[in-house]
Amino acid sequence: MYVVTGAGGQLGRALVEELRGEEVVALTREDWDVTLPPPPGLVPDVVLHAGAWTDVDGAEADPQQAAAVNVGGTANAAALGAPLVYYSTDYVFDGTKGKPYVESDGPNPQSAYGRSKLHGEAAAGERAWIVRSSWLFGPTGHNFVRTMLRLGAERDEVAVVDDQRGSPTYVGHLAAATRQVLDLPHGLYHVAAEGDATWADLAEAIFAEAGLGTRVRRITAEELGRRAARPAYSVLRSVRGAPPLPHWRDGLRECLAAIRDVPGRE
Ligand SMILES: NC(=O)c1ccc[n+]([C@@H]2O[C@H](COP(=O)([O-])OP(=O)(O)OC[C@H]3O[C@@H](n4cnc5c(N)ncnc54)[C@H](OP(=O)(O)O)[C@@H]3O)[C@@H](O)[C@H]2O)c1
């Protein structure tokens, strides 16, 4: 039996969808706040730990609570005693490498969120697959694709950061790859979409694929002035045999198709 934590989040939902037909206990935050001990009587074969504090700027204001969820919550998930998949992030890197980050590269997080996720990797324990991914988007929840679709419908022009480059990854592709990861030895894997883009590139692709005429004005991260520092370059690649994912543009098309299928989806 699989337990999925954070089952109401964008990745959690994709995992539950991917595992349709299997025995799955899908736990939203309401079902199990992972900062608390696990519900009694839960004996999973595998835990897919998608529950996390993901508010990157909010973590700067409340690093203790971010750590309580991302580190303490991961320790609680590991305490279930089953092998565990912990989803980590490209934000564990400082972004100065200028070439794709592989599993052997040293982390150096620049934000409270990145630090909490890195410490969470250690809290996942020995019997864990640490799956680092990046720039997640899907048909539900808070993500860049959905934000751009909303802004694109309202405005002729949107200002978007052009000096951060990463691998925008579709949650459906990451969920499918998670099944393959389970066949690999425990350890650290980089699992992100093929190709790379800046946020501005991604915004232009979103508007083009969605048939919107919205223009993208390319700005710097400094101009946007967000609270948390983000890596300027955080493309992830694997040298450890992690499953390759489709290109981010294919992920974007699949995501937009899923949004069209169920337009009111939240
Ligand atoms: N989003 C990205 O770009 C990205 C990139 C790389 C890695 N990741 C990692 O991938 C994983 C999934 O991220 P996501 O994009 O699916 O995030 P998400 O949509 O924000 O989902 C996270 C889920 O965790 C829940 N949660 C928050 N605090 C919790 C708690 N104390 N107990 C139980 N559940 C709690 C959230 O509930 P509420 O909505 O009610 O708060 C939400 O449903 C996370 O580990 C994240 O760090 C994300």
Percent of the chain with pLDDT over 90: 96
Please give the pLDDT value at position 231.
97
Distances (CA, A) of 243 to 91, 156, 166: 21, 39, 18
Expressed in angstroms and rounded, the spacing between residue 8 Cα and the centre of ligand 1 is: 9
Residue-wise pLDDT for 213-259, tens only, equals 999 999 999 999 899 999 999 999 999 999 999 999 999 999 999 99
Mean pLDDT, rounded, for 47-69? 98
Q: Is 54 in the pocket of ligand 1 (CB under 6 A)?
A: yes
Q: Which two tokens stand for residue 234?
A: 């955080």
| β-sheet bridge partners, residue 129 | 85, 187
pLDDT in tens, 134-188: 999 999 999 999 999 999 999 999 999 999 999 999 999 999 999 999 999 999 9
Q: Ligand 1 mean position to 15 CA, how many Å?
A: 13
Distance in Å, CA 176 to ligand 1 centroid: 18
113 is catalytic: yes
What pTM did the predictor assign? 0.97
Tell me if 51 CB under 6 Å of ligand 1: yes
Residue type, position 62, single letter: D
